[in-house]
Each structure stands twice: as structure tokens, then as C-alpha cells.
Structure 1
Amino acid sequence: MRILVFITGVVFQMAAFAQSFDHSHENFTQVLDRHVVVYDNNLKSAVNYNQLAQNSEPLKTYLDALSAVEKPMYQSWASQQQLAFLINAYNGFTLKLIVDNIEEFRSGEAESIRDLGGLFSTPWEKSFFTLLGERRTLDWVEHEKIRVDFDEPRIHAALVCAAISCPKLRAEAFSAENLNTQLDDQMLTFLNDRDKNGIDDKGIYLSKIFDWYRDDFNGLEDYLLEYISALSDDPAQKEKMKQQSLDIRFVDYNWTLNSIDNR
């Protein structure tokens, strides 16, 4: 009987944990909606980092709420809730990293997120925030959690590293309820951006992201066929792509900060 009562108590406690977190991530949506500018027919976005730095408290409040989530709460969530949480955490703490170092960008000491690394480490290896009860790095979120726990290649069109060549940062947070639609929209938008992906007389050209994470796509050529219309409207090009007779090359990556001044 005592065991039954204990188990029942644990179940109710986990249910309470799951309900106490706002899985709509509405507070993050408000931050993004205010500071992210979407342009080029909704294919790109830029961030008003100076404005965000001047009004950083809402972002801090949201990130504090993420940091307050402990492992038992996280583990009680559905898979889609976990993934939305981690994507938003990666993007949100990336914004924090830029804002925390805004003076370096203002002075010209930094032009890219890569300039924020240490002598022997990259900015993605910095332990500058807390998540799931421990100090974490952006690399941990992406490579040790998201890519390990989820077989979802579309995350590479959703994680934004504050560079011009990154996929666009959405002006809304990811949420479990809308996650599948949002991820598909991100990949379609990314592949429709002709500055990053497309087909020309030399073949298929793709963002370096598809080169860096090629193994995540479980056969890149076949994966691209799912988004063939995003890469080209030309029937002849589509047919060549279906026959996999087009060469693939990867374009240079522009690491310049994705600020509104660099649009």
C-alpha cells in the first residue's frame, strides 16, 4: 500500500512539474518579435542587438526560467516539448552571448561570434549558462543533447549561431504544439534562400551546414529530393536532380554578425 501511495505521489509530482512550465515559450516569442527583423520575402532575418542590449531584462527573465528547469521536470516532458525547449535554449543563449559582449561589437573588436572565443577555445565551448542543473556550453546543447537524443535533421535549419549565413532566426519561439510545422518551414525557407542554397549551371550549391552535418541527413541527395521544389522551379533541373546527375558543392560561410546593420 505504501509503495502504491509513493508511486502515485511521484506521478502527481511529475504531472505538476510538466504543467508548471510554459511550453508555448510566449515570453521568448515576445523578445523575438520585438528585436528580430524578417526581410527578403521572409527568407532572412537580422537582430537589433543594440536595442536588445538596452532592453535585455525580458530575455534574461526567459533564460532564467529555462535555467530553473531541473532534469526530473525535463524528463517528464514529451519529446516535442524537450526538443522545442532545447532549440529555444540554444538560440536564446546565443543571443545572450552576443548581448553580453555587445561592447566588443560596438568598438569593432568583434565582427563575428567567432571573435568571442578564448585563446584555446571557441565561443561554443564556453560554459556561460546553466541548463538542466549544470553549467553548459552551446556545443553541449547541440552536439551532446539535440543531435544525440533526436533523429531530426531539420534542427540544422532551426539552430541559429548569430551569423549571416545561418538560417533565419524566427521572430517566434518554437513550441511543441507547432514544432513539426515550424521545423519544416525553417528547412523550406533555408533551401529557398538563393544566397545559401539552389541550383545553377554548375549543379547544386548548398550551405556548408549540409557539409558539416552531412551524416545527420542519412543520405543527403535523397534527403534533398524531399525539398526539390525549394531548390528549383525549373523542370529540367528537377529532373536532373531526381536522376542525381547534378554535382553538389558547398558555398563559403559568412560568419559576419546577423545584426540589422549588416543586412
Structure 2
Amino acid sequence: MIQKLRPWVLSLLSFALLGLFSALASAANTFDHGQWDALLKQHVLPLNGGQATQVDYQGFTDDKVQLDRYLADLSQVTTPEFDAWPKDEQLAFLINAYNAWTVDLILTKWPDLDSIKDLGHFFSSPWSKSFIPLLGQTRSLDDIEHTMIRGSDRYQDPRIHFAVNCASVGCPALSNEAYVGSRLEAQLEEQTQLFLEDRSRNRIDSGKLALSSIFKWYREDFEKGWQGYLSLEQFLLDYSEPLSLSSEEMQMLRDKSMPIRFLDYDWALNRML
């Protein structure tokens, strides 16, 4: 009887081992952002259905030990480990790193600042400060956004501009959940639509399309061919619903006859009021 069962037992063991190895391989190709997710859920308040958020920097200060632990875990990742991850996992990691270290930077002077710009000076912006130990080098926020994300051929998705957060009212909302590779597409799409729905930053005004300055500063990113978009107008047409564009306004965009102006950026700290 035992001999008859042996092939079945061996098959069961092989199946179990295969599942274990698969789970281990999957775990090796992901990073646990649970600590950051918990901090965001506790200290980021969504407004207007998530179109904007306010950040409880005092709450982050009180939980600085947890934030430091998360940042230390980010710093432990090696370049070979990072390169072995799927592209969405890499991008989620870099977006979270940017946002978490931005919060950490604000805390270096909290509560004695009104804007992230207060952390810079005439010769150096806060984004150019090299203080982030990441993937074997000491980096700046600019390094993460402009070199590692925008400057890499790996990621050509302009929606990252609605995910990275510069701690300012004018920025797209800091999401109250961590980005994760398995849901990154849905998360980026949600953040894009929420930002475009915010009439304080994107709207029709006196017959002109008034847009956030993000579209001025990074216009080239929306015209590089992602999803086939070769012009900002093409990108905006695909998001005509969150922008609440009429059929006439959409036609003007197609004809490139819609006047576009860019709104002033509000650099006030996105603190909880």
C-alpha cells in the first residue's frame, strides 16, 4: 500500500516545493512598503475625495522611529536586488522613496517652516541636497526624480508627476497609501484622474484651458510617445472626462486651437490645518 502511494506522495511533495520556491522567488522580487503605508494612512488626510491631501507632519514627527526604520530598510536594498525586480516594482519603490524622504526632509525643520523652499538657499535648492542613502550612493531628491525615474529608459510614464509629491499645496496629492508594483498601474491612473478633476489646479477659465504648471515644466514627458501621445493636447483629450471638457473644447484641442495658460504654483507647505 505504501509503495502504491509513493508516486502520489512524491508528486504532492514536488508540488508543495514548487509552490514554496515560487513564493520565495516572488518575495525576492518585491519590497514590503507596509511601514510606509501605515504611516500614510495615519498621517495623510484626503480632501475632496482625494483630489488633495493635508499632511500631519507633527504626527510623522511623533512616529519618527517608524519612519526612520522604513528609510533604513529602503537603504538596505542593493542595486543588483533592485535591478532584478519587475519594472513596476522598481518604479513603486522609487516613488515611495522620493515621497518618504521628502517628508523626512520637512521634519528636519518642522514646525519652523512655511514651504519646502525654506530648506534651500540662494545657491542650492532643497531638491539638490544629497542626503539620501539609496542603491549604494548618497542621492538628492532631484537624483531620484530626474535621473533615476525620468532619466531612465526603463520608465517613460508621465503619470509619475501625479505621484511624486513635493510637500506643497500646488503639488498633486500625497496619496494616503504606499505605491506597490502589483497595483501601480491602477494607482497612477487614479492619481492622474484625481489631479485633473481638481478645479483649483486644472480648469476652463474664460475660454482658456488653465493647467497646473506641472504641464509647463514637464511638457516634454507628455509628448514622448507614451500611449502614443506625441503632444500635450493628445494626453489631455484622453482625460477629457476628469477635465470636464465639452465636445467643442475637445475639438479645439484636436485642432490645437485651444488656448492654454499655466497657473501659478502654490509652494505653501501641505500641512494639516
TM-score scaled by length of structure 2: 0.84
Matches within 5 A, 1:105-184: 110-149=113-152, 150-184=155-189
Q: Distance in 2 between matches of 1:24 and 1:70?
A: 15
User: Is contact 1:18–1:76 with CA below 8 Å preserved after alignment?
Assistant: no
User: Is contact 1:17–1:73 with CA below 8 Å preserved after alignment?
Assistant: no
Give aligned-pair identity as a percent. 40
Q: Does 1:87 align with 2:88?
A: no
Q: Distance in 2 between matches of 1:26 and 1:16?
A: 18
The aligned amino acid for 2:143 is W
The aligned amino acid for 1:140 is D
Deviations 1:181-205 (A, max 9, x none): 0001111111110000022323111
User: What's the C-alpha RMSD, in Å, of the aligned pairs?
Assistant: 1.8
- What are structure 1's unaligned runs of at least 5 residues? 1-14, 105-109
Q: Distance in 2 between matches of 1:137 and 1:247?
A: 36
Post-superposition offset of 1:211: 0.3
The aligned amino acid for 1:212 is W
Q: 1:37 aligns to what SS in structure 2? A: strand
Post-superposition offset of 1:171: 0.5
- What are structure 2's unaligned runs of at least 5 residues? 1-22, 224-230
Q: Distance in 2 between matches of 1:51 and 1:129?
A: 22
What residue number does 2:256 align with? Answer: 244
The aligned amino acid for 2:241 is S
Q: Distance in 2 between matches of 1:157 and 1:146?
A: 13
Q: 1:102 aligns to what SS in structure 2? A: coil
The aligned amino acid for 2:58 is N
TM-score scaled by length of structure 1: 0.87
Post-superposition offset of 1:213: 0.4
User: Is contact 1:157–1:186 with CA below 8 Å preserved after alignment?
Assistant: yes
Q: 1:228 aligns with which of 215, 235, 240?
A: 240
Post-superposition offset of 1:239: 3.6
Q: 2:105 aligns to what SS in structure 1? A: helix
User: Is contact 1:232–1:238 with CA below 8 Å preserved after alignment?
Assistant: no
Query: Which structure is larger by alpha-carbon Rg, 1 or 2?
Result: 2
Deviations 1:91-135 (A, max 9, x none): 00000001121142xxxxx21001101341000011112000111
User: Is contact 2:30–2:85 with CA below 8 Å preserved after alignment?
Assistant: no
Q: Distance in 2 between matches of 1:61 and 1:96?
A: 12
What residue number does 1:202 align with? Answer: 207
Q: Distance in 1 between matches of 2:221 and 2:253?
A: 20
Deviations 1:231-252 (A, max 9, x none): 1153433343344321010000
User: Is contact 1:199–1:237 with CA below 8 Å preserved after alignment?
Assistant: no
User: Is contact 2:82–2:90 with CA below 8 Å preserved after alignment?
Assistant: yes
What residue number does 2:80 align with? Answer: 72
